[in-house]
Amino acid sequence: MPMVRMRLIGSRDDADTVINALHGIDGIEHVEEVDDLAPTMRDDSSSSELVDDSEGHVYCVEVRAPNANRVDAVQGVAEFIGRERGMVVEFVDEF
């Protein structure tokens, strides 16, 4: 089964909205928020106290999809909600 990994950058409410929507996709049985093992400071930041470093939180989510069609659905739903809520959705191979 393919695994979709994504980082959601926004508020807790934004992340919960995406996670709940992913649970509602037919055929998706596993949606899990996992701990990010890396610190959440931006690479281009020399200070952890910059305003934009403290506004959004990073939530790492894994979704197990049964096939490529469901992978497309997961990505489409996450991107759509991300745009609607003004959050960042980043798809990654590993955390």
What are the angstrom distances between the C-alpha of 49 and each of 17, 38, 46, 52, 55? Answer: 28, 17, 9, 8, 10
Domains of the chain and CATH, by start: 3-92 (3.30.70.260)
CA distance 67 to 84: 26
- Residue 89 DSSP SS3: strand
Confidence (pTM):
0.80
Sign of CA dihedral 64, 70, 71, 75: negative
Asked if pLDDT for residue 39 goes beyond 50, the answer is yes
Give the Cβ contact number of residue 89 at 10 Å: 21
pLDDT tens string 5-33: 999 999 999 999 999 999 999 999 899 99
Asked if pLDDT for residue 43 goes beyond 70, the answer is no
pLDDT tens string 55-74: 689 999 999 999 999 999 99
